[in-house]
Structure 1
């Protein structure tokens, strides 16, 4: 895909350590995160802090069984959304994908959403 699309660059590195590839990546418009790791919300937050522009959107694919296979999927989703909020990420919508893949959900939102300016009339 990277050969056909010039705005995509493959990076063979551990997403948990964005400082190792920070010199390869500038500020990005959007982050799509699909990592099967127990700390995937934290990984997204770390990479957003390094690379995502203020107000930039993110998409997080949650795999409940990879995070905690002992909890119901719905509780895992809620826990991940809470973790996102704690790291300056503002989830806007979560969609369970059970129709397509069991124990999966997708969360979309924005990073460091600027506060609305008060306007005087």
Structure 2
């Protein structure tokens, strides 16, 4: 399988009829969620599944940029068991760092096991709706990523950006419309949230993630 550079830092793709997205494995020989490992040249890569990662789905949907790069310090809200966080770990590399926040003890246990193999991930058991509870653990970050199914997703996103994201830093919100309001059409929710974010941030891109994720939209923003 031939692997080539993509237009994103440390994100790669395969040549051929079926496009696959990959990241260079920070821990060669180890998969995280059963993903296929690919050897090409002197490196090992991990296939990135867009049905299990909204960030990969965003790339597959034609994103022009993701604004995530090597050496970035990242705050990941809603890290769950670490599927996407592990690929973010690959991208930022050994000199970058990922603060991985989740409020569920079971998945934070998974994150602890993941961090044993990947020292650039720090699991934090906390509620992202209360950033003051982990402010003493997290430094200023270059990039913030949020994937939380709560009615006040946008408010949580903005609250954490205010506290942790450096000026000029970038942030992504994976918005689940049905968690905000099941009575409205997803497109209405996406437009309401876009306006809400635009009051405080520069919205660089917004893309719906179907068919990989139904009723989801990814917002890429920059802190003014």
Report the TM-score, using the length of structure 2 for normalisation. 0.48
Which one scores higher on RCO, CA 8 angstroms, separation ≥ 6? 1
1:35 correspondence with 2:148? yes
Q: Distance in 1 between matches of 2:121 and 2:190?
A: 29
Q: Which consecutive residues of structure 1, in runs of 5 or more, have no partner in the other structure? A: 113-121
Q: Which has the higher strand share?
A: 2
1:69 correspondence with 2:182? yes
Three-state SS of the structure 1 residue aligned to 2:122 is coil
Distance 1:102 1:89, change over 3 A: same
1:84 correspondence with 2:197? yes
Q: Distance in 1 between matches of 2:217 and 2:116?
A: 30
Is the Cα contact below 8 Å between 1:93 and 1:109 reproduced in 2?
yes
Three-state SS of the structure 2 residue aligned to 1:30 is strand
Count of equivalent residues: 111
Report the alpha carbon displacement of residue 44 of structure 1 after superposing the two structures with TM.
0.8
Aligned to 2:130: 17
Report the alpha carbon displacement of residue 5 of structure 1 after superposing the two structures with TM.
3.0
Q: Distance in 2 between matches of 1:90 and 1:4?
A: 36
Report the alpha carbon displacement of residue 64 of structure 1 after superposing the two structures with TM.
0.5
Aligned to 1:98: 210
Three-state SS of the structure 2 residue aligned to 1:22 is coil
Q: What do the CA deviations read for 1:26-74 (whole angstroms, capped 9, x no partner)?
A: 1011001000011111101111111101010111101000001111111
Q: Distance in 2 between matches of 1:6 and 1:83?
A: 36
Q: Which consecutive residues of structure 2, in runs of 5 or more, have no partner in the other structure? A: 1-113
Higher CA-based Rg: 2
Distance 1:55 1:28, change over 3 A: same
